[in-house]
């Protein structure tokens, strides 16, 4: 029997656009997107499309981040001072906005990793999940 890996498509909604009545659920979605985006910027600056593709590549195609949902996240992170963006023009290509992590963004990424790590460990223990 061949087992296929699950693919998770992440649709990100701003907390104000959420139709769910559970604010904690909207906050979790927001936090997931934040962690994924900040992690892609840890080593170097990237443009939006590259961030989405890198998430998919790093997850071996199991996490697909909808690009149209990515830009509101980038704007929010930039507005909160967690990333900075700069327009770059390259001959023969269209202008792109490259984002990089700020020191505040690096601290937030560390906090997010700690928090998610604790959450995943709790799920593993409570759910009896075996890690290969």
Per-residue model confidence as pLDDT tens digits over 35-49:
999 999 999 999 999
* Longest pairwise C-alpha distance within the chain: 54
To the question of domain 8-127 being in CATH 1.10.10.10, the answer is: yes
C-alpha distances out from residue 48 to 41, 112, 129, Å: 10, 21, 34
Q: Which residue has the higher pLDDT, 13 or 106?
A: 106
In this prediction, residue 13 carries a pLDDT of 34
pLDDT > 60? residue 1: no
This prediction's pTM: 0.77
C-alpha 122/C-alpha 130 separation (Å) is: 12
**8 Å CB contact between 52 and 70:** yes
């Amino acid at each position: 029997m061949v087992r296929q890996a699950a693919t998770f498509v992440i649709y990100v909604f701003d907390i104000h656009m959420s139709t769910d009545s559970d604010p904690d659920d909207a906050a979790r979605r927001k936090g997931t997107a934040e962690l994924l985006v900040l992690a892609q910027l840890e080593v170097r600056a990237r443009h939006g499309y590259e961030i989405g593709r890198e998430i998919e590549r790093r997850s071996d195609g199991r996490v697909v981040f909808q690009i149209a949902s990515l830009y509101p996240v980038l704007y929010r992170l930039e507005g909160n001072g967690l990333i900075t963006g700069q327009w770059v023009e390259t001959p023969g290509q269209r202008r792109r906005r490259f984002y990089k992590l700020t020191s505040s963004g690096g601290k937030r990424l560390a906090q997010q990793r700690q928090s998610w790590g604790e959450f995943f460990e709790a799920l593993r223990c409570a759910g009896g999940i075996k890690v290969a």
